[in-house]
Structure formats: C-alpha cells, structure tokens
Structure 1
Amino acid sequence: MRGPDPWAAPPPPAPGGATGLGGAGSGPGAGRPVSWGREILAGAVVMAAVAAAVGPVLGLLWERLAPRVRLLVGGDALYLENPESQQAIAGDGTFLLLGLGVGLAAGVGVFLLRRRSGVAETAGLALGAGLGAVLAWRLGELLEPDRDEIRELARRLGDGAVIDAPLELNALGALIGPAFGALLAHFLCMALWGPRDPVRRPPVFPRWG
C-alpha cells in the first residue's frame, strides 16, 4: 500500500483560516479580530460589580469584627486605657485579613461567571477590588460615631468611664488586601480549571514505500 505522494501540492487551507496543525487559526473564534470596545466594556462591568460587592460586605464585616481601642475619660481629656495594647494595629490587621477573604471570594466568583475572561476583565477585577477596599474603609468609618459624639458621651459619663474609640484605618497599606486576594484566586482558578489551548498534532511524515 503506497503512502501519500511527498511531491504532491499541499492541501488547501480549511474554511475559517484553520491550518490542520492546531495552530493559531484552529481554535473556536480564531482568526476573528479582537473587539477592544467590547473588551473594555466587559472590564468596566466587572470592575463596577466587584466594587459594589466588595465595598459593602467588607465595610460591614470590618465595622462588626474589628477590635476597638478603649479610652479612659479623665476630665476634659481622653486617654488610652492600656497604652501598651495592640488594639490599634489589630483593627488594621482585621481589615487586611477580611479584605483577603472577601477578595478571594470575588476572584472565584468572577472566574465562575466569566471562565474565558480576558485581560480587560482581569484588570477590571483588580481595579474593582481596590475601589471596593476604599469604599469599605470609608463605610466602616462612616458607621462609627464621630469625634464630637465621643466627646459628648465622655462628658455625660464623667471621670473614670471607659468608652470605645471610633474605628480608624491607620495603615493604608491594608487596602491592597482585596485586590491581592482577588487576583490570587482568579489566577489559581484559571491555572487549574481554565480553558486550555488546542493540542498541536505532530505533522504526518511521508511514507516512501
């Protein structure tokens, strides 16, 4: 049985630009130009959705779970009840850890909804998580009583009373937590369960016999 003629003309390319070797034109949708307007719109939608989800959730969790700094009323002044306490930095650490957790959930959610997300959507995920962190920071502090209310409460309670200081974020570096967690979860999901490139088939060598 004779094999294919090695001197014969190569077969014509398949419709749609497929090469038959699993190259750049062999996948679904290959050869079609990228619509950058659609990509940017998808990234903006992802950014808005992630920010709207991360901001309120993280802000409420931080306001509920962060430890408070205890203040001692002494005349017209307020003093730290325990100057050596770590509660001041514990609030920042709580925001960072909660932000990582919320960011991980956001990254997994975007992957489940958009398994074939592109560069614009990944950038939208990171920007949305960062914007959500800022919203959470402002929301958490907005839910706390302001300084005037704290002073009025101290005057009503009198000397020796102990009250909680309003929640504050002192280490702004904690704002990176949601974006880091979101990108980490998204990259891991893409590496483990993301779409794969088509496998290249080796070329068929001519049989001379």
Structure 2
Amino acid sequence: MTDQNTDADGGSGPSPEPGSGQAAPVPLSKSAPEPLPEPASPPEPEPLSAPLPGHPAEAADAPVRFSRELRTDLLLGLALIAGSAVLGLLMGLLWERVAPKVPLYADTSDIYLSDPEGEQAITADAYFAIIGAVIGLLLAALAYWRTRARDVGVGVPVGLALGGLLGGYLAMRLGVHLGPSSNIIATAKSVALGKTFYGPLAVTANGVLLAWPGVALVTLIVLTRIFSPKPSAPETLWAQPLSQASPERSDTP
C-alpha cells in the first residue's frame, strides 16, 4: 500500500490516487457572501380624488357648489314654466277643436237647450282633463330623462307644478276665446228663430285644472323611485382592527 499524503494544514483527508475513481474535494470558497436583495418598499397610497367630509377644502367649496346647483335648478324651473306656457296654448287650440259645444235655440221669449239631457259640458271638462294629463305625463318624463344624470332638485318639481297650472289656465282662456261667443243673447238675435246655435265653451269644474300638474308630479315621483340609483353605503376609510377592539365583558364572575 502507498502512503497517504496530507496537506500542509493537516486538516484534509487523504488525497485520492490517480485512477482511483474518487472525485477530488472541492475547496470551500473564502469570499464574502452575496448581500441579500433589499425588500421592495410598499407603494405609496394614492391621494383621495375628493376631500374627506369636513375637510377645509370641501367646506370652502360648499358655497360655490350650492350657488351652482341653485342656478341650475332655477334655470330648469324657468325652462319648464316657459315650455308649459307654449304647450298650454297648443292645448287650448286642440281643446276648442275636439270639445263638444252645448246646442241652443231661441224663440221670441227665451233661450232653450236643444238637448236637455245632453252631457256636452261634462264631456268638455273630461276632454280638458285628459289632454292636460297626457301633456303633464309626457313633460314630466322628458324632464326626468334630461335630468337623470344629476340629482333632481327643487327646480324640476316646482317647474312642473307651476308650469302645469299656468299651461292649464292659458289653455282654458284660449279655448274659451276661440269658441262660441259668451254673449248668448247677442248670438240668439243674430240667428233665425228656432235655429240651433252653440253656447260658449267653458270649464264647469275647476278641478280639471289640476290634472296637468298632478299627473306631472306623480309621474316624476314614480320615475325617480323606479329608475334612480339607490344611494350606496359610504366607503370605509379606516376601521379599528378586531385584535385591538375591547373584549366583551362576561356576565359570569
């Protein structure tokens, strides 16, 4: 057997002989270990797009925002009133055309109803209410559709109510003016005795004037109730961790 050589320090094992098939030991590296990578810094929180409630910036912007919303509501209300006035004139023209008139005839002593059991006056009131209700429904639907992107303020309902009253009044006055003359005696003298003529067109039930604004307000409430998005709960910006919450007291000693 051959002698086993040791290295100069005496700490290594026997050196393998050439051809013995044993792998040579790999010397340990004495260089310094590589530094560990630095941990990634956490991302900075993004600034809030809107100031928190009670923030000085929000408090300073509140009067400006209130003034802007008030001006918008005022313009919407005035636009609805002006549009209702125009629609009221068109309603008066239509009502005078479709509403039945009360037939009359006269002799040498008095003026009589040609159809004593007729319901022309009630039918005229019904036509007035129906036309006004249809206009109020369509106008309220249009107002909601145009303002659905913003919160409905006081301008829309007030404009619909006042505009409906104004439009109904103008329609009544125009229809009466365009209809037969209100001077029945003069009209009876202008026609031959016993010949039928028509009495003045009139609204006998003043409650029909409320059909337009009433239907408009009900339509606006229903559309707002059905199609407006429901208010969501405010986003929680901070909550106390459960581990720091105070433990519940036990009733048992």
Task: Output the TM-score relative to the length of structure 2.
Answer: 0.64
Structure 2 counterpart of 1:34:
66
Q: Relative contact order: is structure 1 or structure 2 higher (C-alpha 8 Å, sep ≥ 6)?
A: 1
Superposition pairs of residues 60-139 of structure 1, within 5 angstroms = 60-75=93-108, 77-115=110-148, 116=150, 117-139=152-174
Structure 2 counterpart of 1:159:
193
| Secondary structure in structure 2 of the residue aligned to 1:68 | coil
Task: Tell me the distance in 2 between the aligned counterparts of 1:48 and 1:98.
Answer: 18
TM-superposed deviation, 1:30 = 8.9
TM-superposed deviation, 1:164 = 1.8
Percent pairwise identity: 32
Would you say the 8 A contact 1:69–1:165 is kept in 2? yes
Moved over 6 A (4+): 29-32, 202-205
Structure with a larger share of its residues in helix: 1
Letter in structure 2 aligned against 1:147: S
Structure 2 counterpart of 1:7:
none
Task: Tell me the distance in 2 between the aligned counterparts of 1:17 and 1:76.
Answer: 84
Number of residue pairs the alignment of both structures matches = 189
Could you list the runs of 5+ residues in structure 1 that have no partner in the other structure? 1-10, 20-24
Would you say the 8 A contact 2:175–2:201 is kept in 1? yes
Task: Tell me the distance in 1 between the aligned counterparts of 2:228 and 2:62.
Answer: 18
Would you say the 8 A contact 2:180–2:198 is kept in 1? no
Structure 1 counterpart of 2:246:
none
Letter in structure 1 aligned against 2:136: G
The CA deviation string for residues 178-198 of structure 1, in whole angstroms up to 9 with x for no partner, is: 101111111111122234433
RMSD across aligned positions (CA): 3.0
The CA deviation string for residues 64-109 of structure 1, in whole angstroms up to 9 with x for no partner, is: 1112111122226321112222222221122112211111111111
Could you list the runs of 5+ residues in structure 2 that have no partner in the other structure? 1-44, 244-253
Task: Tell me the distance in 2 between the aligned counterparts of 1:173 and 1:130.
Answer: 11
Structure 2 counterpart of 1:179:
213
